[in-house]
């Protein structure tokens, strides 16, 4: 495996693990505030991000590289509102998208086309991630201070179930 590509994939593996940790913290926050649907949505995000990290982990190993795990930073634990949480989700997903795009650029520069092919799925996944969060943000902005609207959205989000998206790669 190309050493430069291996290094940036290792950084991304650690980012994905941090992402899962961040979403798990958000889930704990929502559980503590009585929003079980939002707790469920962010817990599913935790599972998805961990599956992304493991897919990259397995890929590096499969290509003969070495995975190096770093210390994971403590995520935020407090937010001011559900809107604040989901604005944070969008910001974080945009950051991950930027990083996936940088990974793609490096793999292309290094002519590591197997990794380019591998990363293509993550590029598409990030489009979907941002669209999902934007939909929730649109709903939260429409709801405003309407507590009944918040309860209805929460009941909708409790229905989400985890299906490992990396199994289709």
Burial 84-122 (b: 16+ CB within 10 A, else e): ebbbbbbebbeebbebbeebbebbeeeebeebbebbebb
Q: Is 92 annotated as a binding residue?
A: no
Closest CA to 3 of 140, 106, 134: 106
Q: Is 16 annotated as a binding residue?
A: yes
Q: Is 49 annotated as a binding residue?
A: yes
Q: Is 70 annotated as a binding residue?
A: no
How many other CB atoms are found less than 10 A from the CB of residue 83?
16
> Tokens 């950084």 correspond to what residue?
11
Binding site feature residues: 16, 49, 52, 93, 126
Which residues belong to the annotated binding site for Fe cation?
A: 16, 49, 52, 93, 126
């Amino acid at each position: 495996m190309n050493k430069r590509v291996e290094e940036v994939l290792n950084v991304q593996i650690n980012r994905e693990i941090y992402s899962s940790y961040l979403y798990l913290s958000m889930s704990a926050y929502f559980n503590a505030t009585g929003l079980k649907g939002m707790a469920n949505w962010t817990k599913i995000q935790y599972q998805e991000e961990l599956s992304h990290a493991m897919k990259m982990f397995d890929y590096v190993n499969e290509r003969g590289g070495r995975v190096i795990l770093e210390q994971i930073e403590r995520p935020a634990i407090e937010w001011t509102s559900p809107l604040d949480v989901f604005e944070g989700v969008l910001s974080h997903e945009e950051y991950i998208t930027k990083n996936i795009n940088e990974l793609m650029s490096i793999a292309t520069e290094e002519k590591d086309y197997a990794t380019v092919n591998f990363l293509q799925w993550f590029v598409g996944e990030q489009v979907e991630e941002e669209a999902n969060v934007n939909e929730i943000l649109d709903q939260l902005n429409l709801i405003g201070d309407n507590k009944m609207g918040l309860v209805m959205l929460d009941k909708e989000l409790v229905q989400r179930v985890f299906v490992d998206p990396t199994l289709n790669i």
